[in-house]
Each structure stands twice: as C-alpha cells, then as structure tokens.
Amino acid sequence: MTETERIQELRTELHQHNYNYYVLNQPTISDQDFDKMMHELQDLEAKYPELYDPNSPTQRVGSDLNNEFETVVHKRPMLSLANTYNKEEVKDFYNRVKEGLHGAPFQICCELKFDGLSISLHYEHGQLVKAVTRGDGIQGDDVTSNVRTIRSIPLQLAKEMDYPDEFEIRGEVLMPWSSFDQLNKQREDDEEPLFANPRNAASGTLKSKVSSTVAQRGLDAYLYYLLGDNIPDDGHYENLQKAHEWGFQISKNIRLVNSLQGIYDYIDYWDQERKNLPVATDGVVLKVNSLAQQRSLGMTAKSPRWAIAYKFQAEQAETILRQVVYQIGRTGAVTPVANMDPVQLAGTQVRRATLHNADVMQKLHLHVGDHVLVEKGGEIIPKIIDNLTENSNPKHLINFVANCPVCRTPLVRYEGETSHYCPNETGCPPLILGRIEHFISRKAMNINSLGFETVDDFFQRGLIHDAADLYELTEEQLLTSEGGGQINAKNILQSIQESKDVPFERVLYAIGIRFVGEIAAKTIARNLGSMEAVANVTLDKLLEISGIGTIIAQSIIHYFKDPINQRFVQRLQKYGLQMKLSETELSSHSDRLAGKSIVISGVFAHHSRDEYKALIEKHNGKNVGSISGKTSFILAGENMGPAKLEKAQKLGVPILSEDEFLKMIE
C-alpha cells in the first residue's frame, strides 16, 4: 500500500471510529489506538500537503486562525415555528390540521425541542461542504470551519450508503450539560462571567472566531429535518431514520402518534423525564409526518401550518430571602447574590439566586425575610423573579452597595452599562489579579507555563503585585511556591523570557486598557507605531484613526494619565518588552487600503483567505462579511457565489481579481 492510499484508508477508518464513539456510543478501539492512527494521519498529511482535505478527521481540532464569518443566503428559508404554552392550543393546532386535510388520516411526528442553535448542513456527494446558522431565516453565517470540529457531525458519509448527490439536513447545535458544567466551572475558577444556560454557551461557542476554541468545548448536534430534491421517503420520520443509517445523530426519542391523546401522552412524559436527559430541552415539536400533506397545508408568512412548538413551563418555587451578598469579578463588575432557605428546584437544591444588578434589586423591593419566587428554567444560576411579600417595612429595604465589597472604593456605573464597577484597578485585589491574568493570556503575552492558580499563589505570597513583577521572579522564589519543582520553575522562567519577543500590538493589548481589545490594539499600534506615541497622543489624533471611537480614545488618555500605569509601562520597557513596531512590521504596513471595506469571496491560488484578510489589515483596510452599498470592492477568486455576484452587480460594487488586488497593494 502506498502512503497516499494509506491516507485514504486512515481517513475512512477514523471517520467510522468517530461515528462509533460520538453517535453510537459504542467505541470499537481504545483511545490510545485512535490517537496513534490520528498521529499517523497527521504526519502523512504534512508530508503530502497537496492531498489536503477540509473534511479530514485531522480538521476536528480546529485552527487558531481568526475566522470572519461570511453571510450566506439560505437556499430554502429557515422559518420559525409558532409557539404554544398550553394543551388547548395544541388541540386547536390538531383540529386545524384535520380540517386542512379534509378528514384524511394523518400522523404527527413528536420530537423533543432541543435548546441550542439552529444549523443547516449541506452535503454534496457525501461530503460536508457548508454549515450555516439560521440567522434571520433568510440568511445566516457560514460557520463551516467551526462545525467541522463537532465530532457527532459526519464530515464524510460512507460511500456504500444510498444517499442523494446533494441534500440539506437541519438540526440543533447544543452543549451537553456535562460540557456546560465543565466550562462554567473553569470560568468560575477564572472569575469570568458564567454562561446563563447551555443555549447561550453553544451559541457563543459556535460563533467563536477561533475554531480551536470550539473544538475544546465539547459541542454536540442532533439533526431533525432532511431536505432536498431526491430525499428517500414521503415520511418525515422515515427520512430521519434513513439519515441515521447514513451516519447522522438523530434523537432516539422521536415518536409517531395517530391521535391527540398520543400527543398529550408524549408531552406529559417528557415534561418530567427531560430532567434526566444529557442535554437541555425546552419543549416538544409536533409535525405532520407526510411531506405531501405538509405541502398541502402550506405556510403562513412566518411559519408552517403543519408544525408547532409546545414550550414547557420554567420551574418555580417559593422560599425566604435571608441575605444579599456581593461578588466582585476580575473585571470589577459587582453582582448581588441572594442567599435563601434551601428549596428543591429543577432536580437540585437551590440556596442562592442571582439578582443581576442594582436595577433588578430596586424593582423587587427586597427585605430580609421576604417570601420570594425563584425560577430556574435553562438558567444555571436561579433567579428571583418576584417578591411575594407585600407592605414590608421600607426602613429595612435592601439597597445596592455604594462601595466595593473588597476595597471599599466608591463604585461607578459607566454610561450604557447595567452593572456597577469598582474603578480601583491598581489597588483592588480581584482587579489586580484580573489584570495579571489578562496579561499572561494566550492572546496577550502568552506566558503559557503560568496557570491562574499559580498566579493567585504568587500574589497571595507577595511575590508579585502587578504583571511587571513577573519579570523579576527568580528560580529560588519559584521553587518555594506551591507545586514548585525545578523543571516547572525553569519552564515558567523560560516562558516569561520568551514573552519579551511578543510583538508590540499584543503588548498594547496586554497592558489592559479598558475597552481596548485585540482589534483596537492592533489598529492603534499600526497607526501610531510605538508605546511612547500612544502614551502622548492627543484625543483628536486618536479620533482620526478609523475604527477608534470616543469611548476607546478617552480610555487610552485616562490610562496614561495615571502615574501608576505610567510606572508600570516604564518597567515593562526596562525589562525588554517590545514597545514599538519592528522595521519589518513598519515596512509591511501602509495606508493603501485606508477607509476601504472589502469582501473576500471564492477560492484563491496565491494566498489563503486568511492570508488575504491579514494583508487587508496590514494595509489599513477593513474586512467585512457581506456586500452592501458601502462595500469598496470584492476580492474575488474562483467559484465566487452567484448570489454575491448578482448582488455586487446590482449595487455596482467593483470586483477585483487576485492579481489586480496584489498589484494594488504592491
């Protein structure tokens, strides 16, 4: 067997093992053997880059490259379903279907309504070619690179299966409770804001601009609707069973019923049993099974007449408020939390509930001893939704705190924000730790040998008081710290030393100027060139930079007026961090594309799409995902989408070839 034949064999076998493990839950080889095969395939693919396949099992790990999502028009609109919250409305739906079909017999397919993010998957010749979010139902975002990391979604169907040459299958991308709990535990340890529920976590993850992040978060997917010109059967249920044979994960809890009572039985059963599922559900979907009957019933402007969603009620319970405490996160946001008498809710004993912010507290008019109504629907942290006690003594009203619960600094509330913040960034311990942890993070200085727990240990023991102190650490100090060992100490010191080579734009991001994210830091660095120029820039000069608004500009001015921040930056310069763009970086940047909004479309010969996006940024242009009247031009490769071409021609947007674009920026 040749090495190229071995590549194809490994791909086929690994696809099958992925299906066995993630869809059937019946692994046939050990994790060690799976990893061994994966490493062999990675080595062979590196040896033969011309055999690159976007659907190779090796692509499941994702990429660290930044994705900009392209807007795609759905071939078939993704309409929403009408919602109902009681059985009487379910009965009305059933009778409307009976009337619309003029008494002909029909079946209803009952499905669980998974609480995630709707997705449309497109396959050609058994290969996944595109994955698009629902968006507004007419168009959505192309998230194919992120979806490829979800192991329960097949990238390539077995060749011996009898599937159409082209079809679409829709479903829900979701985050299982186990992945959600693990993610929120990590965020809690890092004192980052928790995701409210698995739906929000799944949505935020799938729209991440870095696909390797998606790969690490354990997303799953259930598919529930097969579409196409040559699908196998007239029955919706039968088509889903066929899709399961092809390799798709279809819920085992779908049922066909022949009566209204059958629908009621299904709803009643899952209203209780859903608490034992590994994923979040928020209702039941009812669909007429026959596709011919679906077409006969037709659609309204917003939803099909042949389907409806029944939503479960969120669970509520009454308990007594005993205390309100305040948590401060590493960003300085102060969150009120209610301590209550324990109460059973959604299968767990609840003692605490979030009060969100001062506005929510004010509306609830809370006092110690009040009877309150607590709700836990999809929320991981229960919330108080009502105060059941009337005429409480106004003298004992619980008011939101005026000072930081840790350092006692007066709190501030920034314009347009609902939370109050502690502004004492250089004196409040949680904020200091937050700044250090931001400084060492991967997208900033990337001091990857330092974990957040180690940073906490250093801080508590007085080894560091800010991020600049990291550059004064000695091996002797590290050997006495918790978990310290000589090899670990050397790794930490080496990682700190290597951070001195991190480019200036990331240093600017790392120092933690409020509102200055990665993109803003990159823009400012490329326009001003050095930390000295940034520290001395005027407000008017900052506002001249495309993409920098008043809030960011004022925050930069405020940061460098603070003597503590000035000394901090001076120390970083003293320790050898990059405080200006290198000559190479300066020479590779220009303003040739300044003020231009550019859409990239198609397949390219000279550079990848990501490389072209980087080139556009280097020349001060702006990457945008969709075409509008404000688009300056389209950089078009081979196979530019016909919808984009038509829209560009309609709006009169210029279309440049690869060679024309490269000549423009020479």
439: domain CATH number is: 1.10.150.20
E strand or H helix at 3: helix 3-22
Same-domain check for residues 493 and 508: no
In a domain, 415, yes or no: no
Same-domain check for residues 509 and 603: no
Say if residues 526 and 591 touch (Cβ distance below 8 Å).
Answer: no
Say if residues 504 and 581 touch (Cβ distance below 8 Å).
Answer: yes
DSSP, collapsed to helix, strand or coil, labels residue 104 as coil
Amino acid in the structure at residue 161: M
Does pLDDT of 303 surpass 50? yes
Q: How many domains does the chain have?
A: 6
Average pLDDT over residues 634-647: 80
pTM value is 0.52
pLDDT of residue 189: 67
E strand or H helix at 140: strand 139-141
Say if residues 180 and 380 touch (Cβ distance below 8 Å).
Answer: yes
- Residue 448: pLDDT band by 50, 70, 90 thresholds? confident
Residues in a beta bridge with 473: none
Same-domain check for residues 162 and 307: yes
Read off the pLDDT of residues 530-540 as tens digits, 9 standing for 90 and up. Answer: 999 999 999 99
Same-domain check for residues 574 and 477: no
DSSP, collapsed to helix, strand or coil, labels residue 563 as helix
Q: What is the DSSP letter of 376?
A: E
In a domain, 66, yes or no: no
- Within 10 Å of residue 314's Cβ, how many Cβ atoms? 15
pLDDT of residue 65: 45
Does pLDDT of 282 surpass 90? no
Among candidates 658, 638, 636, which has minimal Cα distance to 647?
636
- Rounded distance between C-alpha atoms, residue 289 and residue 241, angstroms: 13
Mapping DSSP onto H, E and C, the string for 312-367 reads: CCCEEEEEEEEEEEEEECCCCEEEEEEEEEEEEECCEEEEEEECCCHHHHHHHCCC
Read off the pLDDT of residues 484-517 as tens digits, 9 standing for 90 and up. Answer: 567 778 888 999 999 999 999 999 999 999 889 8
Domain residues for the domain of 359 are 315-396
Read off the pLDDT of residues 167-194 as tens digits, 9 standing for 90 and up. Answer: 999 999 999 988 988 888 887 766 566 7
In a domain, 622, yes or no: yes
In a domain, 73, yes or no: no
pLDDT of residue 45: 79
Chain-centroid distance of CA 238 in Å reads 33
pLDDT of residue 192: 65
| % the chain with pLDDT above 70 | 92
Q: Which of 311, 340, 374 is the last residue of a domain?
A: 311
Q: Cα dist. 475→102, 435, 471 in Å?
A: 84, 23, 12
Say if residues 264 and 270 touch (Cβ distance below 8 Å).
Answer: no
Same-domain check for residues 477 and 547: no
Q: Which position has the higher pLDDT, 216 or 261?
A: 261
Q: Specify the range with the lowest mean pLDDT, choosing from 60-74, 80-94, 322-336.
A: 60-74
In a domain, 655, yes or no: yes
- Residue 387: pLDDT band by 50, 70, 90 thresholds? very high
Same-domain check for residues 493 and 545: no
- Residue 296: pLDDT band by 50, 70, 90 thresholds? very high
Which residues are catalytic, by number? Answer: 113
DSSP, collapsed to helix, strand or coil, labels residue 61 as helix
- Per-residue tokens: 241: 């069973």
| Dihedral angle of Cα 404, 408, 409, 412, to the nearest 10 degrees | 30
- Within 10 Å of residue 656's Cβ, how many Cβ atoms? 16
CATH number at residue 629: 3.40.50.10190
Q: Could you give phi then psi for residue 413, rounded to 5 degrees?
A: -125, 115
Read off the pLDDT of residues 37-51 as tens digits, 9 standing for 90 and up. Answer: 777 887 787 777 777
Say if residues 73 and 643 touch (Cβ distance below 8 Å).
Answer: yes
Same-domain check for residues 134 and 264: yes
- Rounded distance between C-alpha atoms, residue 309 and residue 324, angstroms: 38
- Among 132-141, 281-290, 371-380, which range has the highest average pLDDT? 281-290
- Residue 64: pLDDT band by 50, 70, 90 thresholds? very low
Say if residues 633 and 598 touch (Cβ distance below 8 Å).
Answer: yes
Q: Which of 246, 280, 311 is the last residue of a domain?
A: 311
In a domain, 514, yes or no: yes
- Rounded distance between C-alpha atoms, residue 287 and residue 304, angstroms: 9
- Among 27-41, 539-553, 633-647, which range has the highest average pLDDT? 539-553
In a domain, 70, yes or no: no
**Helical H segments across 516-657, by residue range:** 518-528, 531-536, 539-543, 550-561, 563-574, 583-588, 609-618, 642-651
Same-domain check for residues 497 and 508: no
Same-domain check for residues 98 and 230: yes
Q: What is the DSSP letter of 235?
A: B
| % the chain with pLDDT above 90 | 43
**What sign does the CA torsion over 500, 504, 507, 511 have?**
positive
pLDDT of residue 485: 63
Does pLDDT of 379 surpass 80? no
Does pLDDT of 456 surpass 90? no
Average pLDDT over residues 228-232: 91
CATH number at residue 381: 2.40.50.140
Does pLDDT of 23 surpass 70? no
Over the range 442-478, which residues count as b (16 or more CB within 10 Å of their CB) and which as e? eebbebebbbbebbbbbbeeebbebbbbbbebeeeeb
Does pLDDT of 640 surpass 90? no
Does pLDDT of 66 surpass 50? no
Residues 6 or more apart in contact with residue 395 via CB below 8 angstroms: none
Say if residues 499 and 445 touch (Cβ distance below 8 Å).
Answer: yes
Q: Cα dist. 538→531, 545, 550 in Å?
A: 14, 12, 12
pLDDT of residue 396: 81
Say if residues 312 and 273 touch (Cβ distance below 8 Å).
Answer: no
DSSP, collapsed to helix, strand or coil, labels residue 281 as strand
CATH number at residue 56: 1.10.287.610
Same-domain check for residues 327 and 258: no
Read off the pLDDT of residues 121-138 as tens digits, 9 standing for 90 and up. Answer: 999 999 999 999 988 788
- Residue 549: pLDDT band by 50, 70, 90 thresholds? confident
Proportion of the chain in helix, strand, coil states, percent, rounded to 5: 40, 20, 40
Say if residues 517 and 509 touch (Cβ distance below 8 Å).
Answer: yes
Q: Could you give phi then psi for residue 379, rounded to 5 degrees?
A: -75, 135
Q: Which of 549, 570, 587 is the last residue of a domain?
A: 587
Same-domain check for residues 344 and 240: no
Q: Which position has the higher pLDDT, 250 or 640?
A: 250
- Rounded distance between C-alpha atoms, residue 95 and residue 91, angstroms: 6
Chain-centroid distance of CA 629 in Å reads 29
Does pLDDT of 609 surpass 90? no
Among candidates 419, 421, 415, which has minimal Cα distance to 360?
419
In a domain, 448, yes or no: yes
Same-domain check for residues 153 and 195: yes
E strand or H helix at 141: strand 139-141
E-strand ranges in 588-641 read 597-601, 622-624, 633-636
